[in-house]
Amino acid sequence: MMSSTFDQVATIIAETCDIPRDTITPESHAIDDLGIDSLDFLDIAFAIDKAFGIKLPLEKWTQEVNDGKATTEQYFVLKNLSARIDELVAAKGA
């Protein structure tokens, strides 16, 4: 499940942001390593929302980071982002 989610996310990022797929790893930080800015991330969120039938809570995550309650790594390192997606998919099916 985890690897499959990561693979889908990596493919989405590669296609959306024109980043070579082989440079995207589970340890990649979308912002710090891949250089994706907030506007480009909206395209990624759109594609992820569609692909997984969820709504990434970007505003909540951003608020938590701004309030110091979370780090960007928790949400934007791709293995963590994939885990968050899995949680959202599971919550939807519950």
Instruction: Provide the binding-site residues for another protein, judged by CB under 8 A.
Output: 39, 42-43, 45-46, 49-50, 55-60, 62
Q: What residue spans of 18-77 are helical by DSSP H?
A: 38-52, 58-66, 72-76
**C-beta closer to another protein: residue 19 or 45:** 45
Query: In the bound complex, what is the minimum distance in angstroms from residue 33's beta carbon to another protein?
Result: 23
Residues 6+ apart with CB under 8 A from 37: 31
Query: In the bound complex, what is the minimum distance in angstroms from residue 61's beta carbon to another protein?
Result: 8
* HSE-CB for 92 with a 13 A CA cutoff: 12
**C-beta closer to another protein: residue 1 or 42:** 42
